[in-house]
Every structure is written in structure tokens, then in C-alpha cells.
Amino acid sequence: MRKSLLMAATAAASAMLVMVPAAAALGAAAPHHVLTTGKVGGANVKVGAVLQASLKPRTVLVFASVSGTAISLKCTKSTITSKVTANPVRPGTAVQSLTKETVTGCKASTNLVTSVTVTVTKLPSKVTTSDARGFPVTVFGPSATLKIVTTVIGTITCKYSARTIKGHASNIGSLISFSKQVFNRAAGSNGACPAKGALTVTYGPVVDLSVLHHPHVFVN
């Protein structure tokens, strides 16, 4: 009898040892990645997802000279589109490929300029988003060409580029912001094209076009 009871107790204990890890595994939550949709801690953004954002409502893109002539451009429309190439488990850094950027509705701060066309070049560009403090965002090798029509010397072309520009993401509004990020003149007239220009812009909300209803994107 004692032997039977001992064997039964041993069998029950063995079953419990098997069941407890299995239950724990079933109850374990899926790990959150750097980027999620819908909310912080929401569904993980998938590699290959297409993200998009336009200018934050009631804001403009500003490109202002920081040397030479004090000319600034204000553009009322801009959209960025990127493809997610890496979204690791947090903590970490997500990587995107900026595949398209449009900038339109630009006006200069001087009446001598009648029109400005901005073309973003050298795409795709690498973009990283970290979940470190401040959610830093880095764009590698951005560049753009400005075609400027003036009343004085006609049409001039100015090209600007930077090794990197740095900004940050925010979960309040799903935004990405850059403030006074400096670009250097890569080509164009020394007299007509300022040697340096500073970009200030905020995009958002950032949405995931790959998911139904295009939910907002958050950093975890």
C-alpha cells in the first residue's frame, strides 16, 4: 500500500514538473520589438512594412541659410515613405530604408525668388530609430537639389547634402522631428547658393501602410 502511494505521489510530482513549465510557456507574453503599432506595447511592426508620414498638421518644412545671404524656404507639403528592414526585440535599434520623399509648396523669404522646386536625391537612405532615451532618429547621407527661379539671374541650381542628420521620435502624436540640421552646399554657385542650410521639420503621425486602417507607429 505504501509502495503504491509512493509511486502515485512520484507520478503526480513528475506530472506537475512537466505541466508547470508548459503553463509558464503558454502564459509568457510575446516580446515587444522597438517599433509597434496601435500603442506602446502593441503589435510588432513587421520587417518589410511600409511606413509613411506627412508634415505634422499646421506646420511647415523650413530650410534656412546659415551663412552668406539670409534666405529661407518654407514648404507646406512633404511626405516621407520608408520600408522597415530590421525591427529587433527591445532594447535596440530599428532600421528603415527611406525610399521616397516629396517636398512641394515651397516659397522663399525674398520677392526676388519666384519659384522653388525641391528634389530629394540619392534614395534610398538608411534611417535608424533607437529606443534609447529621447528615441533618437538618424538619417544617413541625405541630399537634395533646389531649382530656384529668380527675377535677377534666372534659374540657378543648388545641391545640398549631409553625412547624417539627427532628430528624435515621440509617442505623443507618433512624430519624428528634426531641428536646425545643417546641410552643406555640394554644388552650385558660390554667390547664389548659401554655403550651408539648416533643416527644421516635424513629420507625423507615422503610420504603417501594411496594416489595415493604417495604425500609428510607436517606439517602445
Question: Where in the chain are the domains?
Answer: 1-30, 35-219
pLDDT of 37 > 90? The answer is yes
Confidence of residue 71 (pLDDT cuts 50, 70, 90): confident
Alpha-carbon distance 209 to 126, whole Å? 19
Average of per-residue pLDDT across 42-56: 98
C-alpha cell at 32: 515587444
For residue 62, give the C-alpha cell: 523650413
In this predicted structure, the answer to whether residue 66 has a pLDDT above a threshold of 60 is yes
Contact status, residue 54 vs residue 77, Cβ threshold 8 Å: yes
pLDDT value at 29 more than 70: no
120 residue type, one letter = V
Q: 80-109, pLDDT tens digit by residue?
A: 999 999 999 999 999 999 999 999 999 998
* More confident: 191 or 188: 188
The C-alpha cell at 204 is: 507625423
H or E segment to which residue 34 belongs: none
pLDDT of residue 24: 43
Angle at 177 (CA atoms; ends 142, 148), nearest 5 degrees: 50
pLDDT averaged over every residue in the chain: 88
Which stretches of the chain are assigned E, i.e. beta strand?
35-37, 43-44, 50-54, 61-65, 72-86, 93-108, 113-121, 125-130, 136-140, 143-150, 154-161, 164-170, 175-187, 196-203, 207-208, 217-219
Residue 14: CB partners within 8 Å, gap ≥ 6?
Answer: none
Count the neighbouring beta carbons within 10 Å of the beta carbon of residue 66.
14
- What pLDDT sits at residue 192? 82
pLDDT higher than threshold 70 for residue 19: no
Q: Establish whether the linkage from the previous residue to 21 is cis, with ω within 30° of 0.
A: no
* pTM (2 d.p.): 0.84
pLDDT band at 68 (very low <50, low <70, confident <90, very high): low
**Angle at the Cα of 184 from the Cα atoms of 190 and 51, rounded to 5 degrees:** 135
